[in-house]
Structure 1
């Protein structure tokens, strides 16, 4: 099983700076990680996803680049196709586009896009992305949307999905799956999730199995539990106090042992890659993570 790392761009308290991007990209590319991920929110104090992915493409040579995830219906399809193709060229074919519909209406309002019918709109956008990357113009009489991607047919598309309906829809077009777990990683049903995904892919006549990833928040160091809870509360407070209280009750990956146990759990369940989501922007946290992984 591969292990990836997320840039800590969602960390509050003005911890994320220019040096954060420079240092984390360098250390991730040198370290035991196979990918570097960037998430997206609009109405939140994080840095913008395409800019960070472009920086990561220029600052790294080895690791895969993941968007985890673009909220696709908040984007103009042709513009995102151009941005993704540009990052594909800049990274020499290392970008995988994670896309989903999201669940925060605030982001849609800020992007001046309708929240209703976002699922059906996203499916249409998926087909448009593939068509544009194949060199077809966005409409009759227009020039194609360039540049041509390095990867034939465009970057792979991974679906950020939750429930069974979205998983079934993803089986029609996705190359893989991006998931997120907000608890302690001990999910007895994850192996069932893997089996369901593979069965749905087969049912759609897909010739390859989906590449299945998951992710979770974690913290290490002297104040790990407090750090983890602070991050979770800040990130999820938009959902209201009830949801926040539940999510806080599930946070337990705040030690080396808990981190290693969670990774082992997902590997045994058939996960292809776990993407770690740090809750601190300090490079010392990344150093602690590398040391912990060396003990696994």
Structure 2
């Protein structure tokens, strides 16, 4: 389950309530994403709070853009987060889809590439391995709880990026806009083949989609409003055109049917993305998942 970090009017109480409800189960992971030119909470600061508010679930960034950060500072921050949560951290990374975020922090848009991401991952892995990356008395610490650093997932829907990430990633943290099972399985097959060619164990196969529970028209309107706010860098008429077929809107039974379809193609995890900060939506999903054997 993803935190409602892209919703308006958040405060510590709302975020804490969601985190604790997610941790109560039956969810496998608590996820949250990163943006810069937006009013969402800052990712690394929130990570510390989430580590304190939870005890069970894995904490998964879906996703961070390493090019927006100094890689050594990012490695140190993530190792600290891994320490604070007792080794429950997984890091989803992507190149990001918004040049405005790069410009907001003074990052070079020319680094918005697969290579730019991989170069920063290489530095982070050296830090986590305890290597000195400068002539310092001690290496950059603290060491992460998980040997070699937190597991890394690549956030992408592109086969080329998936193939390139096989060298350093442990799996995927993708997204499906239209819940197309066939297309998702094709991407999973690319990952399976790329990981096998790299001589690595099978990748962790995760995808995500926006959701709203309720009568179809009402739930679809909720998804639409969320997309209008979140996708503010895209012309509104394009968002309006895609909204009727983006994400999930419907009943609990309909959601179970969709989850079953993803289960059938070997999906290891669905990272649901809320389109409201109303914790009742979270509780309804929790009750639904508890009642089935997904």
Distance 1:252 1:90, change over 3 A: closer
Tell me, in whole angstroms, the C-alpha distance in 2 between the residues paired with 1:246 and 1:138. 49
Q: Identify the residue that residue 267 of structure 1 maps to in structure 2.
A: 263
Listed one character per residue, the Cα deviations across residues 221-276 of structure 1 (whole Å, up to 9, x for unaligned) are: 36322111100121113122353134213136222233212211111111100001
Q: Identify the residue that residue 36 of structure 2 maps to in structure 1.
A: 42
Listed one character per residue, the Cα deviations across residues 138-191 of structure 1 (whole Å, up to 9, x for unaligned) are: 3234631110110001111111122121111111110111001122x2422222
Q: Identify the residue that residue 208 of structure 2 maps to in structure 1.
A: 215
Tell me, in whole angstroms, the C-alpha distance in 1 between the residues paired with 2:225 and 2:254. 18
TM-score, L = length of structure 1: 0.93
Listed one character per residue, the Cα deviations across residues 185-224 of structure 1 (whole Å, up to 9, x for unaligned) are: 2422222222221111111222x11101000000113632
Q: Identify the residue that residue 292 of structure 1 maps to in structure 2.
A: 288
TM-score, L = length of structure 2: 0.93
Q: Identify the residue that residue 109 of structure 1 maps to in structure 2.
A: 103
Q: 1:9 aligns with which of 5, 10, 13?
A: 5
Alignment of structure 1 residues 189-208 onto 2, 5 Å: 189-206=183-200, 208=201
Instruction: Check whether the contact 1:186–1:262 (CA below 8 A) recurs between aligned residues.
Output: no
Tell me, in whole angstroms, the C-alpha distance in 2 between the residues paired with 1:114 and 1:41. 16
User: Can you give the 5+ residue segments of structure 1 that lack an aligned partner in the other structure?
Assistant: none
Q: Identify the residue that residue 187 of structure 1 maps to in structure 2.
A: 181
Give the superposition deviation at 1:287.
Answer: 1.4
Q: Identify the residue that residue 51 of structure 2 maps to in structure 1.
A: 57
Runs of 4+ in 1 over 4 A off after TM superposition: none
Determine helix, strand or coil for the equivalent of 1:102.
coil
Determine helix, strand or coil for the equivalent of 1:112.
coil
Tell me, in whole angstroms, the C-alpha distance in 2 between the residues paired with 1:176 and 1:41. 22
Determine helix, strand or coil for the equivalent of 1:238.
coil
Alignment of structure 1 residues 146-157 onto 2, 5 Å: 146-157=141-152
Distance 1:22 1:117, change over 3 A: closer
Tell me, in whole angstroms, the C-alpha distance in 2 between the residues paired with 1:181 and 1:224. 18
Q: Identify the residue that residue 137 of structure 1 maps to in structure 2.
A: 132
Instruction: Check whether the contact 1:73–1:122 (CA below 8 A) recurs between aligned residues.
Output: yes
Give the superposition deviation at 1:137.
Answer: 2.1
Q: Identify the residue that residue 27 of structure 2 maps to in structure 1.
A: 33
Distance 1:247 1:295, change over 3 A: farther
Q: Identify the residue that residue 90 of structure 1 maps to in structure 2.
A: 84
Q: RMSD of the TM alignment (CA)?
A: 1.5
**Which has the bigger relative contact order, CA under 8 A and spacing at least 6?**
1
Tell me, in whole angstroms, the C-alpha distance in 2 between the residues paired with 1:54 and 1:262. 33
Tell me, in whole angstroms, the C-alpha distance in 2 between the residues paired with 1:21 and 1:234. 19
Tell me, in whole angstroms, the C-alpha distance in 2 between the residues paired with 1:234 and 1:89. 34
Tell me, in whole angstroms, the C-alpha distance in 2 between the residues paired with 1:141 and 1:186. 51
Between 197-206 and 245-254, report the one with greater CA deviation.
Answer: 245-254
Q: Identify the residue that residue 128 of structure 1 maps to in structure 2.
A: 123
Instruction: Check whether the contact 1:186–1:265 (CA below 8 A) recurs between aligned residues.
Output: no
Q: 1:177 aligns with which of 161, 166, 172?
A: 172
